[in-house]
Amino acid sequence: MAKSFYVTTPIFYVNDSPHIGHAYTSLAADMMARFARLQGQKVYFLTGTDEHGQKVKKSAEAAGKNPQDFVDEVSQRFQKMVQDLELTHDRFIRTTEADHKKAAQQLWKTLVEKGEIYKDTYAGWYSVRDEAFFQESELVDGKAPTGAPVEWVEEESYFFRLSKWQEPLLQYFSENPDFIGPTSRRNEVLSFVKGGLRDLSISRSTFDWGVPVPGDPKHVMYVWIDALTNYITALGYPDESELRKKDGLWQNALHVVGKDILRFHCVYWPAFLMAAGLPLPKRVFAHGWLTNAGEKISKSLGNAIDPFALIQEYGLDQTRYFFLREVPFGNDGEYSVSSFVQRVNSDLANDLGNLVQRVLSFVHKHAAGKVPVPGELTQDDEDMVAQWRKVYAQMEEAMEEQSLHRAIEKLWALVSSANKYIDTQEPWKLRKEDVQRMETVLYVLVEVIRQIGLMAQPIVPKGATKILDILQIPEKKRTFDDLETPLKGGTALASVEPIFPRFQVSEAGARDAG
């Protein structure tokens, strides 16, 4: 039976336009979804927008719009981003959709029935930018730890008995050491929970842009309890059958998030689920921040990079490749135009692009444009043709740990091996000395290019598709299972076209310098 894999991105606030940070998370999740599909897994990939709360409400006011019109408009920009990124998501969820509101209200009702919610008064600090409550002791120079301004809030509020879940959470983390990745983030969560949990205010009564609290419409739900529920709305909750299915989507769910929202996903969310008697997702993986000149890229800091501009100028494959390869997934990563151009020139244009171009043009010129029929394979040939097995196993292992950069690095080691193989076998010499041997060498190379094309699909889908199209590989023969079935000699190749262009390094350097 095919394994299941459910991958989610955070749902993004519609307070402002999407920037490269949002695109980054989305591209990473997309690579995971594509990889799992090619493995033959049953995949569900969810992304969307988080449309309630004070932050969105204030942005709507500032824009002079009513909140619904405003969120419709900004959500469109995120839907456009998702389209431009050519994500392979199964649903784009919006928290203003009816099925989601119903799910959030059902979760609330269940928590009430289980005695997990009580009414009191909240008095404390609130950061609208973080949509988070803070204790006096947590403030740094009168601001939230993120540097966001805070305001004093004193209002009637419902509370969730979070304190009660401190021990069960710690026990769960110890029994499920892979629940949070990477390890540094796991440690961060452990120390936060060990430091003691207070009950959490989960409703607001001084504004109305949110999901109404069942039975008490003066209150709207705290935006995070509403937002987190999106992950189960998409699986049909209040119907719990998918959530409880053994080895179904939920038991194999991975939440990909940025490290800024670790606490919400690794403490609040599992506590809500435990309290409601629902099973937990398999894992939360928190990646780092993209930085520009050392500062987190964010709209509020005014250093946002427009993903649309980047894609338009350099291409989608290039944008995917740079961010997923350059930044070790989990760490922070610095973006600059010159590092971008250097990376895509060297890995895409030179290493992979040249390999394909060189070999396939040679086949067109000197081997009648057909996959050559090999003679007997030498040990070197055998090793080259079989190297993918090790590479693929390494990629699978890396993907299991969300080590996206490592998976890419392993594949590019195969690209390097193929380039070395050309240099040692020297087919251009064989053309004059031993045509049969030349054909064998070319066969090996074309076969390895096919293997690389297959495995590169989740990383650079457009380039990989071009490669597989030149090789005339039928659409149905492009899964990872097909790695096992080598090319047959004699198939005609389509004409060769450039796969990855080169960019000017000098211009990029000038741009970084401002």
Query: Hey, is 151 helix, strand or coil?
Result: strand
- Pick the closer one to ligand ME8 by CB: 256 or 355: 256
The least CB distance from residue 259 to ligand ME8, in Å, is 7
The distance of closest approach from Cβ of residue 110 to ligand ME8 in the complex, given in angstroms and rounded to an integer, is 19
Residue among 102 and 478 whose Cβ is closer to ligand ME8:
102
Measuring CA to CA, which residue among 45, 37, 87 is closest to residue 479? 37
Q: Which is nearer to ligand ME8, 300 or 346 (CB)?
A: 300
- Total residues contacting ligand ME8 by CB under 6 A comes to 21
Assess 24 for contact with ligand ME8 (CB under 6 A): yes
Tell me how far, at minimum, the Cβ of 137 lies from ligand ME8, in Å. 23
Told to check if 296 binds ligand ME8 by CB under 6 A, we report: yes
Between residues 236 and 486, which has the closer beta carbon with respect to ligand ME8?
236
C-beta of 24 vs 35, nearer to ligand ME8: 24
Q: Which of 87, 128, 227, 442 binds ligand ME8 (CB under 6 A)?
A: 227
- Residues 32-51 close enough to bind ligand ME8 by CB under 6 A: 50
Rounded to the nearest 5 degrees, what angle is found at the Cα of 13, between the Cα atoms of 34 and 185? 65
Q: For ligand ME8, give the closer residue by CB, 271 or 290.
A: 290
Binding segment for ligand ME8 among 19-27, 147-155, 344-352, 385-393 (CB under 6 A)? 19-27
The radius of gyration of the chain's CA atoms, rounded to the nearest angstrom, is 26
* DSSP conformation class of 351: I
Would you count residue 260 as binding ligand ME8 (CB under 6 A)?
Answer: yes
Query: Cα(first)–Cα(last) distance of the chain, in Å?
Result: 55
Residue among 13, 272, 285, 503 that touches ligand ME8 (CB under 6 A): 13
d(CA 37, CA 45): 10
Which of residues 213 and 290 has its CB atom nearest to ligand ME8 in the complex? 290
Is residue 455 part of the contact set for ligand ME8 (CB under 6 A)?
Answer: no
| Nearest alpha carbon to residue 445 among 473, 423, 460 | 423
Residue 256 CB, nearest distance to ligand ME8 (Å)?
7
> Which region, judged by CB under 6 A, interacts with ligand ME8, from 186-194, 227-235, 398-406, 499-507?
227-235
Output the residue with the shortest Cβ distance to ligand ME8.
21
Task: Specify the residue, 21 or 427, whose C-beta has the smaller distance to ligand ME8.
Answer: 21
**Is 496 in contact with 470 (CB distance < 8 Å)?**
yes
Q: How far is CA 302 from CA 158, 344, 491, in A?
A: 35, 26, 54
Which is closer to ligand ME8, CB of 22 or CB of 100?
A: 22
The contacts found for 210-214 with CB under 8 angstroms, 24 or more apart, are 210/52, 210/53, 211/52, 211/95, 211/101, 211/104, 211/105, 212/105, 213/108, 213/158, 214/105, 214/108, 214/109, 214/112
Minimum CB distance to ligand ME8 smaller for 25 or for 402: 25
Rounded Cα distance, 252 and 2, in Å: 12
Q: How far apart are CA 341 and CA 361, in angstroms?
A: 26
SS3 117: strand
Point out which span in 99-107, 204-212, 289-297, 475-483 binds ligand ME8 (CB under 6 A): 289-297
Work out whether 421 is an interface residue with ligand ME8 (CB under 6 A). no
Minimal distance in Å, beta carbon 182 to ligand ME8?
Answer: 15
Contact region with ligand ME8 (CB under 6 A), list: 141-149, 207-215, 225-233, 472-480: 225-233
Smallest distance from the beta carbon of 165 to ligand ME8, in angstroms?
Answer: 19
The rounded distance, in Å, linking the Cα atoms of 438 and 431 is 6
> Could you tell me the sign of the dihedral formed by the alpha carbons of 392, 397, 398, 402, in that order?
positive
Q: Considering the rule CB under 6 A, would residue 21 count as an interface residue with ligand ME8? A: yes
By beta-carbon proximity to ligand ME8, the closer residue of 255 and 406 is 255
Q: Which is nearer to ligand ME8, 286 or 473 (CB)?
A: 286
Q: Does 290 bind ligand ME8 (CB under 6 A)?
A: yes
Give the helix/strand (H/E) hosting 70: helix 67-84
Residue 261 in the binding site for ligand ME8 (CB under 6 A): yes
Three-state secondary structure call for residue 478: coil
CA distances from 152 to 38, 81, 149, 158, 223 (A): 51, 36, 10, 17, 18
Query: Any idea what the Cα angle at residue 153 is, between residues 11 and 141, rounded to 5°?
Result: 85
258 binding ligand ME8? (CB under 6 A): yes
Provide DSSP, 382-416.
HHHHHHHHHHHHHHHHHHHTT-HHHHHHHHHHHHH
Question: Candidates 81-89, 226-234, 363-371, 420-428 — which segment interacts with ligand ME8 by CB under 6 A?
Answer: 226-234
The least distance separating ligand ME8 from the CB of residue 492, rounded to whole angstroms, comes to 45
146: its two tokens: 């993120």
- List the one residue from 35, 44, 160, 289 that touches ligand ME8 (CB under 6 A): 289
Q: How far apart are CA 395 and CA 391, in angstroms?
A: 6
| Residue selected from 5, 7, 11, 193 as contacting ligand ME8 according to rule CB under 6 A | 11
Give the footprint of ligand ME8 on this chain (CB under 6 A). Answer: 10-13, 21-22, 24-25, 50, 227-228, 230, 257-258, 260-261, 289-290, 296-298
